[in-house]
Amino acid sequence: MNFIEFVFYVYIFVTLYMTSLLIFLWYPNKKKLYEHPSGKPIPVSIVMPCYNESKTLVEAIDSLMHLDYPKEMLEIIVVDDMSKDNSVEIVNQMIKKYPGKIRLIVNSRNSGGAAEPTNIGVKAAKYDFVAVTDADSMPQSDALIKMIGFLQHDKKVAAVTCAVMAKGNKTFMQRIQMLEYSIIAWNRKLLDCVDAVYVTPGPFAVYKKSALLEVGLFDTKNLTQDIEIVWKLLSHGYIARMCLATRVYSETPEKFRKWWKQRIRWNIGGTQCIVKYRKLIFKNGMLGAFIIPFFSFSLFLGLFGLGIFTYLFIKRIIIKYLSVKYAVYGGATLLRFQDLSIQPTVLNFFGIALLLWGFVFTMIGLEIMGMRKKPEANIFNILFYLLIYLTIYPSIMVTALTKYIRGKYSW
């Protein structure tokens, strides 16, 4: 076995371990996944950072106003980050539609991210519990009441997230993201079983305002402030919870280019978090014991794997190209029967076994998330997700890391 083969076996082991871990978390907890502590309605401020969201603002605010929650206990604070479209005008119309329920704060500058307007909103919030939502997201009506109980029943819980589901299904990219978001939500709930929720995504999350203020609010320099805030809370001894019993639907990129840009941003943000909290590795409970090593190791494996794959792929292409070129020149046969013959190797068998295992894992996830019978969850889409979509990630990591090192990144 040479070095490259050894690396392949390490990859197989790690992949098998991570999926097995999630299965071992799922099986004993499968009846409890949708459980949530009963919550007692208490006043909540909902902060909605907004930048050029005119297309989705009305629907987003309407969905908040239709939450199954006493309206007198809600205030909505929209913080506009100097939008160039008519977002402010739309918010003013919504203020008239729901008098006394919505406040508009216009930031004095465009901050270029969601963290600064969110912090402005949190500081302005009247209540002790603060929900943060994106202006293109629509929580289910039961979202707040099901999530609030987590914060009320455990003093250590400072943040709660719910299942973020992809809203649109117009394009192929969006349909694949529907599968991805479902699996991510399921996995996040499983990580909740070991106190390892590492992000409270922007679409909808509820926090204790006191905890946010204590840790210094959202990091305005981080491109994924929703990951960073959880790491910061964890480093201060708090924990985050995941409520699978409710959902928020969020817009997803329709085209590959926007999707790529979004994922680059997520990966740069993740890298910023690793760098910022690197000293906590193997310290501070699950943050240091699992989350930081998991993120770091994933980044390392992704980059290293892509490097090896690229090396082998380019070498093979060059050898094939040159030998075909020589064969054309020399009048030799271009393709022989033995070129097509494939002898099964152990790696082949491991690869196939891993694909089948991944397929079963995905199907379980889709079943639990109620997605399995949806038209988007057809065999072609699932195989595309497993074989193509997920394999693009290492390329995203490389691009993100390059941008991070060069310091050329923005929201």
Partner 1 sequence: MSKHAFWKAFIFTAIIFGFGLILGFFLEGFQSDNIYSKLIDSELNLLDDQLTHEIINDYNVSCVQARVSLFAFADKIYSEAVELEEIDGIGRLGDLTVLHKRYDLLRALLLKESKNLKERCGNDFHIITYFYLYNSQNIEISSKQNYFSRVLYDLKELHSDTVLLIPIASDTGLSSVDLLTNALNIHTYPSIIIDDAIVTTENPTLTELEEKLVF
Residues of this chain that bind partner 1 (CB under 8 A): 1, 4-5, 8, 12-13, 16-17, 20-21, 23-25, 28-29, 193-195, 290, 315, 318-323, 326-327, 329-334, 336, 338, 341, 343-350, 353
Nearest-Å Rg of the Cα atoms of the chain is 24
Residues 234, 283 contacting (CB under 8 angstroms): no
We find the least distance from the C-beta atom of residue 14 to partner 1, in angstroms, to be: 9
Q: For tokens 């969905």, what's the residue?
A: 63
We find the least distance from the C-beta atom of residue 284 to partner 1, in angstroms, to be: 15
We find the least distance from the C-beta atom of residue 243 to partner 1, in angstroms, to be: 18
Is the Cβ of residue 121 or residue 358 nearer to partner 1 in the bound state? 358
Task: Quote the longest CA-to-CA distance of the chain.
Answer: 85
Is the Cβ of residue 195 or residue 251 nearer to partner 1 in the bound state? 195
Is the Cβ of residue 275 or residue 332 nearer to partner 1 in the bound state? 332
Is the Cβ of residue 28 or residue 407 nearer to partner 1 in the bound state? 28
We find the least distance from the C-beta atom of residue 20 to partner 1, in angstroms, to be: 4
We find the least distance from the C-beta atom of residue 18 to partner 1, in angstroms, to be: 8
Is the Cβ of residue 347 or residue 388 nearer to partner 1 in the bound state? 347
Residues 235, 280 contacting (CB under 8 angstroms): yes
Cα-Cα end-to-end distance for the chain = 45
CA angle 156, 185, 377 (to 5 degrees): 170
Is the Cβ of residue 352 or residue 388 nearer to partner 1 in the bound state? 352
We find the least distance from the C-beta atom of residue 5 to partner 1, in angstroms, to be: 6
Is the Cβ of residue 331 or residue 407 nearer to partner 1 in the bound state? 331
Complete DSSP assignment for 63-131? HHHTSSS-GGGEEEEEEE---SSSHHHHHHHHHHHSTTTEEEEE-SS--SSSHHHHHHHHHH--SSEEE
Is the Cβ of residue 24 or residue 256 nearer to partner 1 in the bound state? 24
We find the least distance from the C-beta atom of residue 333 to partner 1, in angstroms, to be: 5
We find the least distance from the C-beta atom of residue 103 to partner 1, in angstroms, to be: 40
We find the least distance from the C-beta atom of residue 23 to partner 1, in angstroms, to be: 8
Q: What length does the chain have? A: 411
**Token reading at 389:** 């979509």
- What is the helix, strand, coil percentage profile of the chain, to 5? 60, 15, 30
**Amino acid present at 39:** G
Complete DSSP assignment for 294-354? HHHHHHHHHHHHHHHHHHHHHHHHHHHHHHHHHHHHHT--S--HHHH-----HHHHHHHHH
Which of helix, strand or coil describes residue 250?
Answer: strand
Is the Cβ of residue 253 or residue 358 nearer to partner 1 in the bound state? 358
We find the least distance from the C-beta atom of residue 366 to partner 1, in angstroms, to be: 21
**Amino acid present at 277:** Y
Other beta carbons within 10 Å of 249: 21
* Residue 43 DSSP code: -
Cα 19 from Cα 114, distance rounded (Å): 33
Is the Cβ of residue 194 or residue 388 nearer to partner 1 in the bound state? 194
Q: Compute the half-sphere exposure of residue 255: CA atoms within 13 Å on the CB side of its CA.
A: 2
We find the least distance from the C-beta atom of residue 138 to partner 1, in angstroms, to be: 32
* Residue 280 DSSP code: G
**Amino acid present at 161:** T
Residues 356, 363 contacting (CB under 8 angstroms): no
Is the Cβ of residue 112 or residue 285 nearer to partner 1 in the bound state? 285
